Amino acid sequence: MTANRFGTEITPEDIIETLSFFDSWEDRYKYIIDLGKELPALDESKRSDEYIVRGCQSQVWLVDHQEGDKLYFEADSDAFIVKGLLGVVLAAYNAKTPAQITAFDIDAYFDELNLLKHLSATRGNGLQAMVQKIQGIAAKAQ
């Protein structure tokens, strides 16, 4: 698995702090898109129906595996902004224990980012689908 920096070097606090520097949502979107560029490319063999996240307007793939007591995720999308949103989510969930994942207040995180108000309804639904998928994986692993 290709290690990604989300959840270890790039934390929710980092994203909240960086987004607070930008005055416009156009600049914030650019930053979120840049976050997506930090995600390692997903191997073509993992771009299959087995790993697709249902409920997203764009195609989103999420692959999980456990090492010790922590869950690790690989993710990709065919849309730049969605890759960035995956980065926002993985900052909260990647390289965490199932208990840490289920305990993390993702709604408060999104509120602090003021994110959902600035996404289309379909993007917001897709973001929630990603979160539900990861939380479901964590719940099964507990």
Residue 73 CA, chain-centre distance (Å), reads: 9
- State pLDDT tens for residues 86-104: 999 999 999 999 999 999 9
Instruction: Write down the pTM of the prediction.
Output: 0.95
Which residues carry out catalysis?
A: 56
Nearest to 93 by CA among 30, 2, 4: 4
Q: What is the pLDDT at residue 8?
A: 94
Q: Are 102 and 139 a contacting pair, CB within 8 Å? A: yes
Per-residue pLDDT band for 11 (boundaries 50, 70, 90) equals very high
* Crossing angle of helices 80-93 and 25-37, rounded to 10°: 70
Mean pLDDT confidence for 25-38: 95
- State pLDDT tens for residues 64-89: 999 999 999 999 999 999 999 999 99
Which domains, and CATH codes, for the chain?
Answer: 12-141 (3.90.1010.10)
